[in-house]
Chain A
Amino acid sequence: MASARTPVVAGWFTSGDGDFRLLGTRCRGCGAVYFPREDTYCRAPGCASEELAEVALSRRGRVWSYTDGRYRPPAPYPSDPAAEWEPYTLIAVELAAERMVVLGQGAPGVTVADLAVGMEVEVVPGVLDGGAEEGGASWATWNWRPVPGQARS
């Protein structure tokens, strides 16, 4: 159960079994949105605000681009070098309300053949499995998954 795992980074997404969302922050001064979150100051050049509030990002977006990793990435990616490498997809998703693009791994079983630019996807809980080097631990993360019922055009 993903919710029982330690998040790979604290504070980037909701915990628990309810509505799963990525968490960013919004500047109270100028309204700029940040993911990964900025908690101490706004990075807009004309804004001196240091007040930022947590905000849940849109659950759904559209595929901006996608790829996959056919070879094992180097550390610190959590992966057991003794295990056979299983390629995963990497999906860049455009969120309309936030007007930003957020990367994430595709959900297990999603391949590049299942994806197309412009396709609607939603954020779902995911798991990063560490290898023996990390004591067999695993971490909670986020994944993007095509919204069911779409044909790949």
Chain B
Amino acid sequence: MTGDVAVAGAGMHPWGKWGRSFVEYGTKAARAALADAGLDWTAIQSVVGANTVRCGYPGQVAGATFARALGWQGARVTSVYAACASGARAIDTARAQILSGMVDTVLVVGADAAPKGFFAPSGGDRPDDPDWLRFRVLGATNPAYFALWARRRMAVYGDTPEDFAAVKVKNAAAGAANRHARYRSPVTAEQVAASPVVADPLRLLDICATSDGAAALVLSSVDFARRHGVADPVRIRAVSSVSPRHPRTALDLPDIATDSAAGPGPVPDAFRPSIARAAYEEAGIGPEDLSLAEVYDLSTALELEWYEDLGLCAAGEGAGLLREGATALGGRVPVNPSGGLASFGEAVPAQAIAQVCELVQQLRGRAGDRQVAGARVGITANQGLFGHGSSVIAVR
């Protein structure tokens, strides 16, 4: 076991399309987290920012950008990037600083201002960049990959478009009770079925939007939390930041092909299940210990895949778990009680931090109408482009 760090405070800026700067969103989320922790900004010894590649130079030095906006006070600054896993990498970096004894208090911030429509690669003529090539040669958008995985599930496991729609219905119901969510209206299966097909078999309401939003955490050593009168804080017990093993035989964006498994030697386990497994091993728990999970539902079908990758059920049984109601609020192990990406839309560097903010509220018993009764252990899972696994386990 690595050792725990305490969550002293959590804060968010509501998700939406606000048309303002990511710096404003992040700074407001940071102030909310500091207020939640009851700490003055000057008590923060380190700032770790999750970068955004779409917001120019300030977005690529996010730690410094937020430290400047909050008022330079001399704290160490670090900026990290790991695509959709950037927020979890920021948490991982903060945790390492605390566990090494380098600092007692770290502010973690992620914020984004997203463009409308499909995410596109960086500009220019860059034939050595796989992300550029998949758009150039194939026009393969992110939803195209989500659709390939969804169709594969239909063919291999017998999942149906109605199963996928049921994920949206479940997450929209939870998100309607979350004041930070962008979409706060219940959605019916009929509404999903009536939305236009984007990439067969997925429809608009199967695919997460791109949003503006921000999330922040104040992390501290457990001793610091105790000295400040918090005897029983939410603790982060594990952060998985594993990468794939060669050969990667699961087709993944932005790749045009998988690795070949025809070389000598055994084919390793698939990447996605290895992400949660590393977190479970570090925390010394298993999927049977979970009270709830927050997973990266970039598409409705992908949420079902995560059920299996987290070990909530065997491969191919994700839709069955959904149908029996196990993953809905009130079920055996609610998944995405926040409303998930279905209700938020993705604000890339903020999203993995927002997942942890939801665990914190749930484990504190302050999630209101979304509360998972008696929540003690929560896990988050996501995966960033280019081989960035991320999973965080929090306990109380």
- Residue numbers of A with Cβ under 8 A of B are 8-9, 27, 30-36, 43-46, 64-71, 73-79, 88, 90, 92, 97-105, 112, 116-118, 128, 141
Contacts and interface: CB of A to CB of B under 8 A. Distances in A.
B133 A103 contact: no
Contact of B151 (A31, A45, A65, A71): A65
B260 interface: yes
A143 to B, nearest CB: 11
A103 B258 CA distance: 9
13 contacts: A27-B263, A31-B263, A36-B256, A64-B152, A65-B151, A67-B201, A73-B140, A74-B120, A88-B139, A100-B260, A103-B134, A103-B140, A117-B156
Nearest to A42: B263
B74 interface: no
Contacts of B78: none
Contacts of A102: 256-258
A34 B148 contact: no
A31 B141 contact: no
B144 A8 contact: no
A103 B138 contact: yes
Contacts of A45: 245-246
Contacts of B3: none
A46 to B, nearest CB: 7
- Most central of B139, B149, B257 by chain A CB within 10 Å: B257
Contacts of B247: 32, 44
B155 A117 contact: yes
A101 B197 CA distance: 25
B257 A103 contact: yes
Given A9-B137, A92-B251, A101-B258, A69 B246 contact: no
Contacts of B123: 75
A79 B135 CA distance: 11
A116 B155 CA distance: 8
Interface of B: 117-118, 120-121, 123, 125, 127, 130, 132-141, 144, 147-149, 151-152, 155-156, 196-202, 245-247, 249, 251, 256-265
Given A66-B151, A73-B140, 16 more contacts: A31-B262, A31-B264, A64-B148, A65-B152, A70-B197, A71-B198, A73-B141, A74-B120, A74-B141, A90-B144, A97-B262, A99-B262, A103-B134, A103-B256, A105-B139, A117-B151
Nearest to A117: B155
Given A31-B263, A36-B133, A100-B259, A70 B199 contact: yes
B139 A34 contact: no
A141 B249 CA distance: 24
A99 B260 contact: yes
Contact of A76 (B136, B152, B196): B136
A90 B263 contact: no
Task: Pick the most buried of B139, B140, B144: most chain A CB atoms within 10 A of its CB.
Answer: B139
Given A71-B198, A75-B120, A76-B121, A44 B140 contact: no
Contacts of A34: 259-260
Contacts of A31: 262-264
Nearest to B268: A45
A88 B144 CA distance: 11
B243 to A, nearest CB: 11
A32 B260 contact: yes
A43 B251 CA distance: 17
Contacts of A76: 121, 125, 132, 135-136
Contacts of A90: 138-140, 144, 148, 199
B120 to A, nearest CB: 4
A153 B140 CA distance: 26
B119 to A, nearest CB: 8
Contacts of B156: 117
Contacts of B263: 27, 30-33, 44
B127 A9 contact: yes
A68 B258 CA distance: 20
B235 to A, nearest CB: 34
A4 to B, nearest CB: 19
A80 to B, nearest CB: 13
